[in-house]
Structures are given as structure tokens and as C-alpha cells.
Amino acid sequence: MGILSKSTRGNNRGNTGAHTGGNNPKSPFAMAKLLGATMLALAGVSGVMAPPVLATDSINIYSHRQQILIQPFLDAFTAKTGIETRIVYASKGLAQRLQAEGAASPADVILTVDIARLSEYADLDLLAPTRSTILEQNIPAHLRATDGRWFGLSERARIVVTSKERVAVGAIAEIEDLAKPEWKGRLCSRPGSHVYNRALLASIIAADGETKATAWAKGVVANMARKPQGNDRAQAKAIFQGLCDVAIMNSYYYGNMLFGDEAEQRDWANAVNLVFTNQDNRGNHVNISGGGIAKHSPRKAQALAFLEFLTTPEAQQLYGEINYEYPVNPAVTVTGPLASWGSFKRDQLPIERLAELAPAAQKIIDRSGW
Amino acid sequence: MVAAFLSNWRFSAGQTVDKWSLLVLILCAILLGPVAALVVTAFGDSGGLWPHLLETVLGRYVLNTLVLMLGVGVLAVGFGVSTAWVVSRYEFSGRHVLEWMLLLPAAIPAYIIAYTYTDFFEYAGPLQAGLRDLFGWTSPRDYWFPEIRSLGGAMLVMASVLYPYIYMVTRIAFKLTSSSLFEIALVHNKSQFWTVGLPLARPAIMAGLALVLMEVVSDFGTVEYFAIETLTLGIFNVWLGMNNIVAAAQISIVGFVFILSLLGLEIYARSRQQYAGSGRSQRPLTPLPIGPIGKFWCYLACLTPLLFGFFIPVGVLLKFVFAAPFIQHLSALSGTILNSVMIAMFAAILVMLVSATIVLTSVYRASEKTRSIALVSSTGYAFPGTMLAIGVLIFASTIDRSISGLTNGNVSGLLVGGFGVLMLAYLVRFQAVGYGAMLSGARRLPANMMNASRVLGQGFSGSLIRVILPLLRGSVLAGGLLVFVDVMKELPMTLLLRPFDFETLASFTYQFAKEEMLETAALPALMIVVVGLVPVLLMNRMLRRIS
């Protein structure tokens, strides 16, 4: 190791000291050049890629839903009203972006995929309370905020799927059944802390209380065929592969697998039966996708027009056609594949309760190791 | 507060503040702003969540994170150093191709590799299906197969795409080591690798390893998909599950402390040693001829990481691309590709300008304090992207409001909502990459290089531009390339901070990958790799000219 030379940095320091007298005029100049170059780089970026100037009649949307799923609604809205739309999609953190932007925020409409995100915006006081007879007429009271800050726009059921080959029809009727010992080593699910499972557990807390919900979560974990992992589609895939017999899944994934572009996913969907649970008591747990108007929206009238449009029969049908979600508007009848899965009783729990109980649900999830 | 700090700093230095050092301090303040914003957030009220966390999950989070860091660290150093050594020291056919191919895994986003690996290794994947056919097994109960969605799987997957951070800087270190030193080892019948190569490349290896470990601590995509409960997964559970961003910020500070203590250890270990070769080899390092058994080991060393980090994931992506009608998507991608290339290029230039300024000033004229600040300011990499993006948002909006106030509202929204905030975020996050590349290069230059230049009448800036920077071309290129590729694939910050209607390849890929629509996501994902290939090839050509 003789190659490593030991030395101090004293030499360098000495030089630096001698130099700091300012007897070299080049130094600040070079510094300015460097800074200038940095600024130029930044300016270049802004100049070359400056966002287009906002059209006068247009709205800005912060969306937790992918643009691919939202675009048909935007196109229909623009075609009908002439109002253009611009969108930023992100899965998390948009509430913090809106909060940081404060009164200067350009955002008009927030769209989310579940109640947890909606209530995050509401908790941070980022949504404008809105009164609209159209929205109140088109959306049942339990699917919107009492203070008018947010509105449910579509319903998605969290259902149980069972193997066509290995599980008899009717073997599972209640969501509570999943904790029964007979399903030991036969159950699959995504991790408990995923927002969909958290909301499901919140609904069980609301119906059965925390003690029973904790016992249920522990029973479910004990029944797992494998460590909780993957997303909802991966659970159907696991049933198809024979890794497990029973899984929890959102209803629209079934439609997307059955009718989507991905060929192999059709086999996954065809391997399972759908079970709407708790039909003899409270009904199947549902969550919503929803939206609200940003507190500092500069174009609240257009934003409201957009939300109202999303509850019209035309747009409500689109939810079913594009993503196999259920309409919230009671006047809209379900058609197509959605209708073929049969009608079912939905849990009428005020959707706000799911958000209120989410922290308690997460604690149970932490304790049970789901 | 800043003024007080500066005057205090001047007082302790016992001399007027050097302008270069001042510039570095300002740059560091900008880099640390978002981290400071997170620290401030962490000082809020977390609603008594910690007893619950300590009792239930925190131990698991910390243990998993440490084990993952250890595993990925060991594997990545193994991959990175062995490949760098064989391609720079031994002559075997295909060496020149392997030299640049070994960089390719860096271009594959972690959230994609997790999907592709699951597809390949899981029960229905080609590997297990093949084994079942071979042995006549019919159900998962017939045989045991390692679960890819496990801690071990995550180690393999992450090390396979992260080792290029180590490979890249280590290879330059090997190439710049004087060949006479290796000859001394040969004469004394000592191992060239253990006595010369490895010790002299240590700063480079450590610089690369620091990046790898920061990436491990901050990763969300892979650990989420593999369901590994690390600190970062915990951050998101607490933030999104319990609506508690304060506790989330606090957990991310815990991860940050991990990284700081690692850096501290490395500084301590190095504090009494300085590495200095003679700058450039007197004679270029000529690869040694090697026998057939040696060649076999060379190929094995190079092809193993390439197999795991490139061929398997790209193979899976190609399978998906050809399974779906993709022409309609390809034409739609051109604007997206341009967007990605532009932001990656500007970010790479910006990061290298800033890190060159910081590193060279702190190496050649700043005080010990400034050096420490410079080091700490490159730790934004250790935060999960989304958390750092939130810090950037808070910091940038504060600046926006100040500017708006100073100009009576004439200038508002300068950063947030535009490209300024995105560039700031890339700078804060990837400063670590530029810093590591520059520092490991600068450390290898003999101190007297600068002194000689100064004695010969060049000023500090003149010496930097005419003497030091040309000698560090390789490091600048290496750092710039890594930043470019990193920005190309960066997801969480780009997703959250981008302007309206602005898609990059990463954001475009993600919205499909998230829905497990791999057939559609495969093409843009592959484009990230293809576009990342261009600078890799360019840089490799330039590097070869240098060495």
C-alpha cells in the first residue's frame, strides 16, 4: 500500500489564502461567466419549451387518473362546450403542489380515483365549497361531501373473485367469510396498505367495529397463499395460475382484463367468478372516483360546468364504457358488460366515513402485517 | 440568518470571503433549500404516531432497508468493480463492445425492471414454465422456486441496474492509473488488482457506491412492486394511509440520517489518506493478453450483470412490443421523445456546471467547512423522489412569492408550474451524481497540478479552464452521461412537477405500466433505453480518445 501518499491539504490552503487578496481580476469574471451560463441554460429551457399561452376559455386539471382514461371525457366536454382542457397527471403529491402554489395556482379542477385523495385535498382546505342543483340532483347524498367540496363521479365495487375450477358458486357470501379458516393457504391480495384495501377495511370497521375488523384482518393474513403483493390484476393471474383460489379485486379490473388489448389477461379474467358480497345485509363495499373545484381556481364557472358535465348521462355512460365503472347518477341505467355482471346492492355508508376511518384502518394493517 | 452565518464563517476563516467560495455557498444554499423545507415540515406535529410506528412497523422498515442496502451494495460493487477491472486490464475479443454495453442497464427504469422481472421469473413466466415442462411438475406445490418478489429478488434487480454507477467511475479510475504502478506490482509478484487497482480506485468506488445506496434508500417503484417494507414504503403508507405528511417527512429524515452517517464514515476513513497519482499515465495502460481460462472469467464477469441488467428486461420488453400493434403509438411518441431528450440534456449541462463549480472550488480553495457543506448539499438523492419534489415545491414557491413581492407582483410564478421547478428538482436530486463523478476525478489529480499552473502565471479561473477541466474531461462526460440517463428515466419528480400537457417517455410509460398494461408500456419503455444509448455511444467514443 506504499502507493498511497499521506499528505495534508495545507499546501492548497496556503495558496488559497494568498489568492484571496483579490489581486486576480479574472476570478470574478469567470464566476460571472459560469453563473451566466447556468442562467442561460435555464432560460434556454424555458424559452425553447415554454408552455403554450392559455386560451381564454379553458380549464386546467390536476388529475390522479391517468390521462389515457380521462381523455375521452375531455374530448367530449370540449366538443360540447368549446372549453379547452389542459391536464397534469400524477399519482401522488398533487395536493402538495396545489398547496405550495397557493393563490397563484392555475389549477381549476381536481380529479381523483378514491375518497382518500379527495379528503386529503379537503383536509388541506384546497377545495372550494360548491352549490349546484345539477350536481346535487345527479349525485346521491352519500357520495358527495356535505359541505359541497367534493363530488363522487363514478362508483367502483371492491369484489371477491373465486376460481371457477376450484371454488363452488356461493361458497363465499360475505366479505367477512375471507377470514374463515377453511380458506387457509388459498387467499391472494395486494398489500393491505394499498388505498383500496385500506378503504375496504375502513368499511368493515364501520360495519363491525375495530375489534372485529382487527380479528378479520389477522384472519385474512393467516389465510394468505403468498405474501401480499402485486396489483389487483396480478391476483386474478394468480388464480389463473393455480397459486390461490380466492382474491379481492376492484370490479373494473375484471372488465379491463376481459375486454382490454392484452391478450393473456383474458385468460385470467375467464378463470374467475365475480362475487358481490354482503348482499343480504349492508351491500358490497364501494369507493368512488371523484372531483372538486380548486379553492383558488381563476375559472370557477368553467370548472363547475366540467364537473356537471361529468354527471350527465352521456359522461356517466362513458365511465362504464371506458373503464367499467358504475355510474353515480341514479337516472342512468347500466348497459353493456356491466349489466351482464348483474345488479347488486351497494353499501350506502356515507363515503366520507371511509376517509375518516382510514388512519384507524392503516393501524390495523400495520398490526396485522397485511 | 444567512448574513449572520456568512459573517461567522468569515470570522472563523480569519480572512475575507473568497468570491468562489461565496458562489459555492450560494449554490449549496439552493441545493439544500428543498431538504431544509422537508426538515421544517418534519418539525410539525405528527399527532403521536411514533409510538404506534415503533411498536408495529418501524423496526421492520429499518431492518429491511439496511439489509437491502447491504445486499445491493455488495452485489453492485461486485458487478461494477469486476467488470471495470476486466475491460480495462485484459485483452479479449469483444472487449470494446462490452465496454459500452455494460453501461446500458443504467438506462432501464427501476419501475420497469420490476415488472419485467416478475413476468420472467414468476410462476407463469418462461423460466418456471420451462422447468415444469422439463421435470413434469404440474402445480406450485410440486417444487420450490425462489420468490422474485422478495428481499433477495429486490437485491438482484436493483444491483443489476445500479452497478453502472460504480462501473463507470471505477473504469475511469483504472484507466487513469499509471501503468508503471501495475508493473511495480507485477515485478514484486503481487496482485495488480488487490495491491494497486483496488486501493487507487477506492475513491471512485466509494463515490459510485454512495450513489447506489442513496438510490436504494430512496427507491419506491421496485420496493412497492416487490412489496418490500422499507423506510420509503413506510413514508408513503404514513403519508397516504394516515394523511400524515409530517410523520412521513420525519421517516424520510431517518433515511437521510442513514446516508449522512455512511458519508461520515467514508470521510473519516479517508481523512488521513490522500490519493494522488501523477495525473495521467506516462504510458497508456495496455490491456494484458490473457489465456482461455482467463478469458472465460472475463466473459462471465461481463455477461452476468448484462444478462440480469439488460438482456432479460429488454427481452421481456421486446416480447411485449411484438405482441401488440405498436405502429400507432410510435408516431405519437416523437414529441414525447423530444421532450425527454431536451429536459435530460439541459439538466445534464446544468448539473455538471454546478457540480464542477462546487467540486473544483471546494477541492482547490475552500475551507474544510465549505467542503462539508458541499458534500451535504449532494444528498438530495437520498430522499424518495416524491418527497424531494414536495420539498422542491415548498422551496420554489417561497422563492416565487419573494420575487413576486420584490417586484410588486410583476414577476410571479417564475418557477412553480414551469420548467424552472423541474430543472431545480433535477439539480437537487442529481447533483449527487455530478458531484461524485467530479470529486473522484479531482481527487486523482495531483495537488501540484494547480500549484504549477498558478506559479506559471495562470489565475485560478484560468487554471481551472485551461488545465484542470481538460484533465477532468472524462469525469465531466461520465457525470453528464449518468445525469442524462437518470433524467430520462426519472419518474416521480417529473410526474408531479411537469407543466400542463407535458409528457416525457417516463411519464408516458408509467400511466400504462401502472395499470399493468405492459404490452402498451413496453414501446415507450424501450425508447428510454434506445435514446439513452446515443449519449452512451458518444461518450464512449470520447472516453476512448482520452485514454
pLDDT in tens, B57-109: 888 888 999 999 999 999 999 999 999 999 988 888 888 889 888 988 888 88
Looking at residue A271, the DSSP 8-state letter turns out to be T
Cell numbers describing residue B499: 407543466
Above 80 in pLDDT, residue A357?
A: yes
> Is the CB of residue B118 less than 8 Å from the CB of residue A229?
no
Above 50 in pLDDT, residue A99?
A: yes
Residue length, chain A?
Answer: 370
Helix (H) or strand (E) holding B520: helix B518-546
Residue B324 pLDDT level (bands cut at 50, 70, 90) = low
Question: Is A19 in contact with B18 (Cβ distance < 8 A)?
Answer: yes
Highest mean pLDDT among B58-72, B247-261, B450-464: B58-72
* Beta bridge partner(s), residue A151: A144, A291
Per-domain boundaries in chain A: 58-155+287-340, 157-285+357-368
Above 70 in pLDDT, residue A19?
A: no
Above 60 in pLDDT, residue A23?
A: no
Lowest mean pLDDT, pick from A9-13, B155-159, B162-166: A9-13
Lowest mean pLDDT, pick from B25-39, B242-256, B308-322, B409-423: B409-423
Q: Does residue A146 belong to the interface with chain B, where contact is any CB pair within 8 Å?
A: no
Q: Does residue A71 belong to the interface with chain B, where contact is any CB pair within 8 Å?
A: no
Dihedrals phi, psi of B362, to nearest 5 degrees: -70, -25
Task: List the one residue out of A196, A356, A207, A339 whose CA is nearest residue A283.
Answer: A207
DSSP-based three-state secondary structure for B272? coil
- For residue B15, list chain A residues with Cβ-Cβ distance below 8 A: 17, 20
Sign of the four-CA dihedral B509, A118, A94, A67: positive
Q: What is the DSSP string of B145-206?
A: ---SSSHHHHHHHHHHHHHHHHHHHHHHHHHHS-HHHHHHHHHTT--HIIIIIHHHHHHHHH
Higher pLDDT residue, B135 or B138?
B135
Question: Is A41 in contact with B349 (Cβ distance < 8 A)?
Answer: yes
* Beta bridge partner(s), residue A62: A88, A110
Above 70 in pLDDT, residue B7?
A: no
Above 50 in pLDDT, residue B358?
A: yes
CB atoms within 10 A of CB B66: 14
Task: List the one residue out of B522, B517, B437, B416 whose CA is nearest residue B485.
Answer: B437
| pLDDT, tens digit (0-9, with 9 covering 90-100), for A188-229 | 999 888 889 999 999 999 999 999 999 999 999 999 998 888
Looking at residue A52, the DSSP 8-state letter turns out to be P
Above 50 in pLDDT, residue A15?
A: no
> Is the CB of residue A256 less than 8 Å from the CB of residue A111?
no
Return the residue of A nearest to B519 by Cα.
A262
Q: Letter for the amino acid at B29?
A: A
Question: Is B498 in contact with A88 (Cβ distance < 8 A)?
Answer: yes
Helix axis angle, B151-176 to B58-89, nearest 10°:
40
For chain B, give the longest Cα–Cα distance: 80
Average pLDDT over residues B116-143: 80
Q: How far apart are CA B352 and CA B482, in angstroms?
A: 10
Name the CA dihedral angle for B198, B204, B209, B214, rounded to a multiple of 10 degrees. Answer: 170
What's residue A37's pLDDT? 53
| pLDDT, tens digit (0-9, with 9 covering 90-100), for B146-162 | 777 888 889 999 999 99
What's residue B6's pLDDT? 46
Residue B439 pLDDT level (bands cut at 50, 70, 90) = confident
What's residue B284's pLDDT? 59
Contacts of range A73-82, beta carbons closer than 8 Å, 24 or more positions apart:
A73/A309, A73/A310, A73/A315, A73/A318, A76/A309, A76/A314, A76/A315, A76/A318, A77/A306, A77/A309, A77/A315, A80/A309, A81/A305, A81/A309, A82/A57
Q: Does residue B145 belong to the interface with chain A, where contact is any CB pair within 8 Å?
A: no
- For residue B460, list chain A residues with Cβ-Cβ distance below 8 A: 19, 24, 26-27, 30
Return the residue matching grid coordinates 407463469.
B124
Dihedrals phi, psi of A226, to nearest 5 degrees: -155, 165
Helix axis angle, B518-546 to B110-121, nearest 10°:
120
Helix (H) or strand (E) holding B427: helix B419-444
Highest mean pLDDT among A216-220, B254-258, B454-458, B474-478: A216-220
Task: List the one residue out of A125, A193, A329 whose CA is nearest residue B241.
Answer: A193
Q: Letter for the amino acid at B302?
A: C
Do strands A151-163 and A246-250 pair parallel, antiparallel, or not at all (unpaired)?
antiparallel
Above 80 in pLDDT, residue A35?
A: no
- SS (HEC) of B19-56: HHHHHHHHHHHHHHHHHHHHHHHHCCCCCCCHHHHHHH
> Is the CB of residue B57 less than 8 Å from the CB of residue B229?
yes
What's residue A317's pLDDT? 92
Burial of residue A67, with CB atoms counted within 10 A of its CB: 0-12 exposed, 13-18 middle, 19 or more buried:
middle
> Is the CB of residue A359 less than 8 Å from the CB of residue A195?
no
> Is the CB of residue A90 less than 8 Å from the CB of residue B499?
no
Nearest CB among A101, A256, A367 relative to B417 is that of: A101
Question: Is A359 in contact with B196 (Cβ distance < 8 A)?
Answer: no
| Residues 6+ positions from A301 with CB-CB distance below 8 Å | none
Question: Is A27 in contact with B520 (Cβ distance < 8 A)?
Answer: no
Q: Does residue A231 belong to the interface with chain B, where contact is any CB pair within 8 Å?
A: yes
Lowest mean pLDDT, pick from A247-251, A262-266, A339-343: A262-266
Nearest Cα of chain B lies from the Cα of A145 at a distance, in angstroms, of: 18
Residue B271 pLDDT level (bands cut at 50, 70, 90) = low
Task: List the one residue out of B379, B418, B376, B380 whose CA is nearest residue B396.
Answer: B418
Higher pLDDT residue, B181 or A287?
A287
Task: List the one residue out of A59, A145, A141 whose CA is nearest residue A107.
Answer: A59
| Residues 6+ positions from A75 with CB-CB distance below 8 Å | none
| pLDDT, tens digit (0-9, with 9 covering 90-100), for B467-517 | 888 888 888 888 898 899 889 988 888 988 999 889 899 888 888 877 777
Above 80 in pLDDT, residue B262?
A: no
* Chain A contact probe: residue of B460, B463, B519 with most A CBs at under 10 A: B460
Which alpha helices (DSSP H) does chain A contain, by range? 10-19, 26-48, 67-81, 94-101, 115-123, 133-138, 195-208, 210-223, 232-241, 251-259, 263-270, 300-310, 313-323, 336-340, 351-356, 358-368
Higher pLDDT residue, A16 or B213?
B213
Higher pLDDT residue, A87 or B3?
A87
Average pLDDT over residues B4-33: 69
Above 70 in pLDDT, residue B278?
A: no
> Is the CB of residue A236 less than 8 Å from the CB of residue A247?
yes
What's residue A5's pLDDT? 38
What value does the mean pLDDT of chain B take? 82
Cell numbers describing residue B377: 448539499
Nearest Cα of chain A lies from the Cα of B519 at a distance, in angstroms, of: 7
Radius of gyration of the CA atoms of chain B, in A: 24
Q: Report all structural domains of chain B as residue ranges with CATH numbers, in order of start.
A: 25-546 (1.10.3720.10)
Return the residue matching grid coordinates 378503504.
A199
Nearest CB among B276, B324, B418 relative to A51 is that of: B418
Residue A31 pLDDT level (bands cut at 50, 70, 90) = very low
What's residue A56's pLDDT? 61
- Give the percent of chain A with pLDDT over 90: 56
> Is the CB of residue B485 less than 8 Å from the CB of residue A226?
no
Question: What's the pTM?
Answer: 0.82
Q: How far apart are CA A253 and CA A276, in angstroms?
A: 14
Q: How far apart are CA A31 and CA A122, in angstroms?
A: 47
Q: How far apart are CA B92 and CA B197, in angstroms?
A: 19
Nearest Cα of chain B lies from the Cα of A97 at a distance, in angstroms, of: 6
- For residue B52, list chain A residues with Cβ-Cβ distance below 8 A: 363, 366
- Give the percent of chain B with pLDDT over 90: 18
Nearest Cα of chain A lies from the Cα of B319 at a distance, in angstroms, of: 13
Looking at residue A189, the DSSP 8-state letter turns out to be -
Name the architecture of domain A157-285+357-368.
3-Layer(aba) Sandwich (3.40)
| pLDDT, tens digit (0-9, with 9 covering 90-100), for B381-421 | 888 888 899 899 999 988 888 888 888 777 766 788 788 89
Return the residue of A nearest to B465 by Cα.
A30
Q: Does residue B372 belong to the interface with chain A, where contact is any CB pair within 8 Å?
A: no
Q: What is the DSSP string of B279-319?
A: SS-SS--PPBP--HHHHHHHHHHHHHHHIIIIIHHHHHHHH
Q: How far apart are CA B287 and CA B88, in angstroms?
A: 6
Cell numbers describing residue A11: 499546501
Residue B8 pLDDT level (bands cut at 50, 70, 90) = very low
Question: Is A106 in contact with B20 (Cβ distance < 8 A)?
Answer: no
Nearest CB among A46, A96, A123 relative to B419 is that of: A46
Helix axis angle, A10-19 to B334-364, nearest 10°:
90
Q: Confirm or reject CATH 3.40.190.10 for domain A58-155+287-340, answering yes or no.
A: yes
Q: What is the DSSP string of B48-86?
A: T-HHHHHHHTHHHHHHHHHHHHHHHHHHHHHHHHHHHHH
Q: How far apart are CA B35 and CA B20, in angstroms?
A: 23
Residue A347 pLDDT level (bands cut at 50, 70, 90) = very high
| Residues 6+ positions from B63 with CB-CB distance below 8 Å | none
Q: Does residue B152 belong to the interface with chain A, where contact is any CB pair within 8 Å?
A: no
What's residue B15's pLDDT? 52
Burial of residue A126, with CB atoms counted within 10 A of its CB: 0-12 exposed, 13-18 middle, 19 or more buried:
buried
Task: List the one residue out of B152, B493, B15 whose CA is nearest residue A227.
Answer: B152
Q: How far apart are CA B410 and CA B10, in angstroms?
A: 36
Q: How far apart are CA A1 and CA B129, in angstroms?
A: 52
Q: Is the ipTM of this complex over 0.90?
A: no
Q: How far apart are CA B303 and CA B300, in angstroms?
A: 5
Residue B546 pLDDT level (bands cut at 50, 70, 90) = low
Q: Does residue A104 belong to the interface with chain B, where contact is any CB pair within 8 Å?
A: yes
